[in-house]
Amino acid sequence: MPNMESIDKIIDNYVLKAANDISFAWNYVTGKTKSQLANLTLTIGTMVASTVSVLEGIVDQQGSALMAVPLYLFCAHGLQSLNTRIDNLEAEALEANAKSLEAEKEKQNYCKHGYLFAAVGALFATIPDNTDGVIYPAQFCALYMMSLSASSQIMRADYLPPCKNVLERMYDYVAGLFRKPVPATVKN
């Protein structure tokens, strides 16, 4: 019987390939690193979920919605700090033509946490809506958990150093076309 990979390994390979492709596109277009993309993903998810929680807490006087905001901010800050530290470790390792064992170990944790956040987010998304068509805060909590998951999966991607963004590279290319030496004419 041929050696077949398990379905979870196949899915994980596709998720990792997508994370690498997204990280490469982000780096190519913006010139920024994967940790900056992961942190932006966390920031957007945190802002949306916190805003909705605050509005829900003010409009409906639900204290539980307001209590979620510090939790969102605490978790996002902790993960952003970790993302930046791992990015620095990978940059140092790249300069030394090596791999950071700590960063590689953390990537395994990102894998586990990414799928856990996605599962919890899916559970929050299934909470029934009892607000007569208005989006319930649980769906925004699901969005927040999915942003944590996306950030974790992006951090598993290969490290790419910062570079010039696509507009700067285009400008350099066009400027280089005009910098070609002009042949001088010699008069006798």
> For 137-162, what is each residue's pLDDT tens digit?
777 888 889 999 999 999 999 999 99
Could you tell me the pLDDT band of residue 126, with boundaries at 50, 70 and 90? confident
Q: Is the pLDDT confidence value at 183 over 80?
A: no
Q: How many helices (H) and strands (E) does the chain have?
A: 6, 0
Structural domain boundaries in the chain: 7-163
Residue 162 to residue 95: CA distance in whole angstroms: 13
Higher per-residue pLDDT: 69 or 43: 43
Could you tell me the pLDDT band of residue 58, with boundaries at 50, 70 and 90? low
Helix, strand, coil percent content, the chain, rounded in steps of 5: 75, 0, 25
* Mean pLDDT, residues 114-125 taken together: 92
> For 6-41, what is each residue's pLDDT tens digit?
888 999 999 999 999 999 999 999 999 999 999 999
| Residue 156, phi then psi, degrees to nearest 5 | -80, -15
Question: 34, 23 in Cβ contact below 8 A?
Answer: yes
- Predicted pLDDT of residue 1: 46
Could you tell me the pLDDT band of residue 55, with boundaries at 50, 70 and 90? confident
Please give the helix or strand (H or E) that residue 93 lies within, else none.
Answer: helix 63-95
Q: Which two tokens stand for residue 12?
A: 């994980």
Q: Would you say the pTM of this structure is higher than 0.95?
A: no
